[in-house]
Amino acid sequence: MRVSGVVAALLIGATALAPAAAAGATHPAPSTTHVVPPPAPSPTAKGKSPEAPDPHPPLGGIGPDGKPVGGAQLLSRGFVLPPHAPALPQHLTAASFVVADLDTGDIVAARDPHGRYQAASIQKLLTSITVLPLLPGNRTLTISRSAADTEGSHAGLVAGGTYTVDDIFRGLLLVSGNDAAAALAEAAGGRAHTVALMNTEARTLGGYDTFVQTPSGLDGWQQLTSAYDMTLFLRAAVAQPRIIAYDTVDRATLPAQHVAGAGKAASHAVTLYNQNYEFLHTVKGALLAKTGYTDAAQHTFAGVIERNGHRYGVVLMRAQRYPQDQWQQATKLVDWATKLPAGTAPVGKLPVDHAVAAPGVATTGAAAVASTTPSATTSRSGTPSPSPSTSRGSSGSKAGRLAIVAVVFILLFLLSQRIRRAAHPRRPGDEQYRLIPRRDPRRPPPRRRPNRPDPPDGPDLRKHPPGE
């Protein structure tokens, strides 16, 4: 009767679990959606791009789930600092900045981190991480007239000339060549296709303030990003050894081109000097840097400095190069951040990205991850992925179904044991015989050695020879 009672109890439990599973399956948790990136302000002039900074840059910072990205503090339009933090370094000119530990995801300090500004050429970091996987370094490209004539800064690519992808990437990152950006975009599938890939890559990394119109960073009326988003792109870039190699070489040479009608200058090799040489060779631990400038963006900077085994990223938006250069301002911010007391709480978080996290560096807690990771993301194909909030119902229903399966399995096991015992009842003494091991009758019984006590006057020398 004991088994019957257990079976009855289990059946009652299974009956109680079934409605809960059904309820979880038929009533999923509601979710909200938000359009990302938010619309850009309307153009204020007839030109194809703004010619001056927007005096009122729009605010982003809301993810597809309608929640603040990185934490509610980051929606501030002013300085965002830890409690009781010392004064920031002097001569910080950026209207917006972020300084963050790229390994833990902690944002140490910020100013207007989700304000949407023009990026200028630091947007080439997003270009690089987008097209790099598509273009092997030894692939040879022929430069089009359109790419060679791209407006703005040039690496010196010759129309009709042939260069390796490695050559062109160095022209992109060492001297910020817009012709190099155009050539890479054409090789990756065309300008429009590359721009679409860049927008998708931004969403994939959690950058919901960014909208791309050009692969070079040349201004467009709708092309905006934020210091927060650029920190995500910077973190992805520093995780790519190829990008670091291109960006940190002191100089590189573009091979001479012998193209009919290209002129005598094309027949000479072009030497590219690293624009960030001073930062990379002056600042201890400098790992990567990219600068930019347009009339609308003003000066922009993105760089990484390693301190005490952690990589700190700094992004400056709408900055000036006086009274101190941008790389000096960025270095002072990192020095300030590393002197904060141990245990200082971050002001925000970057979403967890295991692909770019440094080995051996743990994140600061599951709760922080849950509160900062966007609940709905956009895949590389552009299809929104379901958010955790909308999948709770299905998770609950799965748990209920698994519980029912477990109960049924236990019932079947108990019934099989009952049937087996009924078919083979135990006999008295079964346990006694089962405990005694059986001896093989073919083997002789073991010989018993007689007990030989030691003599009364000392130990047996056969067992303990002298000298032991």
The answer to whether 176 is a known catalytic residue is yes
Of 24, 209, 4, 232, nearest to 118 (Cα)? Answer: 209
Distances (CA, A) of 401 to 9, 20, 188, 387: 18, 10, 47, 22
The answer to whether 121 is a known catalytic residue is yes
The residue annotated as part of the active site, out of 176, 216, 226, 387, is 176
Peptide bond into 323 cis (omega under 30): yes
Task: Say if residues 127 and 184 touch (Cβ distance below 8 Å).
Answer: yes
The residue annotated as part of the active site, out of 121, 128, 387, 397, is 121
Of 63, 37, 2, nearest to 222 (Cα)? Answer: 37
The residue annotated as part of the active site, out of 49, 67, 96, 124, is 124
State in Å, rounded, how far the first CA of the chain is from the last one.
68
Residue 405 CB-density burial (10 A; 0-12 exposed, 13-18 middle, 19+ buried): exposed
Distances (CA, A) of 284 to 240, 281, 287: 20, 8, 9
**Catalytic residue IDs:** 121, 124, 176
